[in-house]
Structure 1
Amino acid sequence: MIDEPEVVTDGFQFTEGPFWHPDGFLLFSDIPANTIYKWEPGNSESDVYIEPSGNSNGITSSPDGTVLLAQHSGKVSQVNDDLSLSVLAEEFNGNRLNSPNDLVARSDGKIFFTDPPFGVSDEDRELDFSGVFRLDQDGTLTLLYDGFEYPNGIALSPDESKLYVNDSATGQILRFDLLEDGSVTNETLFASVGERDDTGAADGMKTDSEGRLYSTGPGGLSIFDAEGNRIQIIEFDERITNLAWGDSDYSRIYVTAPNSVYRVQTNVTGL
């Protein structure tokens, strides 16, 4: 059972990248505001957490709890204890990254992220492709796939054997076998949320503990079973952009939209 979405905080320019911090609060990006906000349960207002944020988008954490950011300023960074930022990656083969969009970290510390051109001007763009990358702990950056026009959401299966990536241009979600060394193989069309329209496009993705995949897109939040069959779509009052599991039992989904942040109670457990 999934409850109706409720707004928990609003009044923003374009929110993205929700992340539930294990200390019991939600972080999320407002990309054009160049700010990461912090929302605590029981409040309707959100506080500035990091400003400037490098026009952060996706937020996640490494296995040791370090908060990681995908930034439209062309970087992937970590948040230090004093809330300063340290750059982990900003170029590939000597060329500036486009605008890192979303990211996920595997339990061994390898970071996987998408790099579409949403946040870089044509004159500043140095890569002629939109990549899916792996960032290793030693700083090595490896291109995994360059077949998307606008790679966006990225997620791991519960056992970390599959990597899911969607394309905002087509709405397609591809599934890759993810090998121990962090390389990918066996590209497969898993599902599609449909082509972009005025209600949204393929964007943020997450999985739950039973292997279902959740993707924002046209019409709302699409839920797919482990075989790629769409089993439900949750509608919202505005276009939605991304999602994260939260609360102490990870049974609530927090969903970002341009103006608002929503939450939805479920009877399943997220990752």
Structure 2
Amino acid sequence: MRLRIALLLAFVAVVFSVAFVPAQTSKTPRDFKLEPISPKFLELIGGKVKLETVATGFGFTEGPMWDPAGFLYVSDETINKIFRVYPNGKKEEVIALGDPDGNTFDRRHRLIDCASVLRAIVEVTPEGKYQVLADRYLGKRFNSPNDVIVGPDGSLYFTDPTLDLVAGEKQEIPFQGVYRLDEAGNVRLLTRDLTQPNGLSFSPDGKKFYVDDSEQRNIRVYDVAPDGSLSNGRIFGEEPGGKNEGVPDGIKVDNKGDLFITGPKGIWVWDANGNHLGTIVMPEQPANLAWGGPQYDTLYITATTSVYRLATKTHGFVPYLVH
């Protein structure tokens, strides 16, 4: 009972206890704040929190990926480059690449990127080169791969909407799919149910697969078979919002199965049962996020021109560290 009372008091008081380190821009469209719906939101985020600006001055940031060596990979879609971003704000160019988007590590710690302009899934080498791993399905070029993760079987799973299809180029595949790329280089279509599939994630036990649809403004969940095939697709949740407030995009999961999904105004936090626990309102519209830090308890957030970090009370599920 005392714990419940304490949580409820913290829930009421949260608006008075949030601190904010402002982004280094002349104007931000909204203030950072927490909008809890359930007391569990505060158990995950904490009441006294500080949003920090790690680095700014980018064009449009995407694809954050924490390297255990102590830095973050970040895509800048505007200037077509991937950077290393260090916790102190230092930036180093890794590679110039056509519209780099979502990133992940695979089980061999190779950096994998969705190169939208190349219409391909590529490996980025430490020397700043790239190698195409897949760019076609049944002989037809992908649309514009958007986000990628490593699955429980070690395969790569990725979405292929038309969101970044280069103007004037032909759409060869007549749908927007979700695919599996195995370690032998074989590409398999998993679903074509979504209109614009975007962010994706597995549950920590590998039995559920989440993917959001930016056009429909919802999140789908599927059951996962041992061979990676999907079934029983259904709506997990919806993230409605006003014009220019953002749409469902990047997805990350903590080690207990709670979901952190970028959406209208910020990051929407959900439990595994599809209950919206609250929203982290961001000063810039976030596109994606990653768990980082030595304990993977910090969210690194790519939001328009900046990279932010937010320490939490939970710990991330990091699939490329699971063997």
User: How many angstroms apart in 2 are the aligned matches of 1:194 and 1:207?
Assistant: 20
TM-score, normalised relative to structure 2: 0.81
Return the offset for 1:95. Answer: 1.0
8 Å CA contact 1:29–1:58 kept in 2: the answer is: yes
Return the offset for 1:65. Answer: 1.1
Q: Which residue of 2 aligns with 1:6?
A: 52
8 Å CA contact 2:153–2:228 kept in 1: the answer is: no
Q: What secondary structure, in the 3-state scheme, does the structure 1 residue paired with 2:54 have? A: strand
| Displaced runs of 4 or more, over 4 A | none
Q: Which residue of 1 aligns with 2:28?
A: none
Structure 1 runs not aligned, ≥5 long:
none
Identify which of 250, 257, 270 aligns with 1:224. 270
8 Å CA contact 1:170–1:196 kept in 2: the answer is: no
Rg larger in structure = 2
Return the offset for 1:118. Answer: 1.5
Q: Provide the aligned length of Structure 1 versus Structure 2.
A: 269
1:109 aligns with 2:154: yes
1:167 aligns with 2:213: yes
User: How many angstroms apart in 2 are the aligned matches of 1:81 and 1:46?
Assistant: 15
- Please tell me the residue identity of whatever aligns with 1:189: I
- What pairs with 1:152-231 in structure 2 (closer than 5 Å)? 152-195=198-241, 197-231=243-277
User: How many angstroms apart in 1 are the aligned matches of 2:191 and 2:168?
Assistant: 21
User: How many angstroms apart in 2 are the aligned matches of 1:262 and 1:78?
Assistant: 26
CA deviation map 1:173-232 (0-9, x unaligned): 000111111111111211112256312111000100000011001021000001010001
- Please tell me the residue identity of whatever aligns with 2:51: P
Structure 2 runs not aligned, ≥5 long:
1-44, 318-323
Identify which of 21, 31, 37 aligns with 2:77. 31
8 Å CA contact 1:20–1:27 kept in 2: the answer is: yes
8 Å CA contact 1:222–1:233 kept in 2: the answer is: yes
8 Å CA contact 1:26–1:40 kept in 2: the answer is: yes
CA deviation map 1:75-95 (0-9, x unaligned): 001123433211111011111
| Structure holding more helix per residue | 2
Identify which of 121, 126, 148 aligns with 1:76. 121
| Structure holding more strand per residue | 1
User: How many angstroms apart in 2 are the aligned matches of 1:96 and 1:206?
Assistant: 28
Q: Which residue of 1 aligns with 2:17?
A: none
1:16 aligns with 2:62: yes
Q: What secondary structure, in the 3-state scheme, does the structure 2 residue paired with 1:216 have? A: strand
- What pairs with 1:39-188 in structure 2 (closer than 5 Å)? 39-42=85-88, 44-50=89-95, 52-73=96-117, 74-120=119-165, 121=167, 123-188=169-234
TM-score, normalised relative to structure 1: 0.96
8 Å CA contact 1:152–1:165 kept in 2: the answer is: yes
User: How many angstroms apart in 1 are the aligned matches of 2:268 and 2:116?
Assistant: 26
Percent identity over the alignment?
Answer: 38
User: How many angstroms apart in 2 are the aligned matches of 1:151 and 1:108?
Assistant: 21
Q: What secondary structure, in the 3-state scheme, does the structure 2 residue paired with 1:241 have? A: strand
User: Aligned pair in 2 of structure 1 residues 138, 146: CA closer, same or farther (>3 Å)?
Assistant: same
Root-mean-square deviation (CA, aligned residues, Å) is: 1.3
User: How many angstroms apart in 2 are the aligned matches of 1:196 and 1:150?
Assistant: 18
CA deviation map 1:45-94 (0-9, x unaligned): 312111x2232100101112111111112000112343321111101111
Q: Which residue of 2 aligns with 1:249?
A: 295
Which segment is superposed worse, 238-247 or 1-10?
1-10
User: Aligned pair in 2 of structure 1 residues 161, 140: CA closer, same or farther (>3 Å)?
Assistant: same
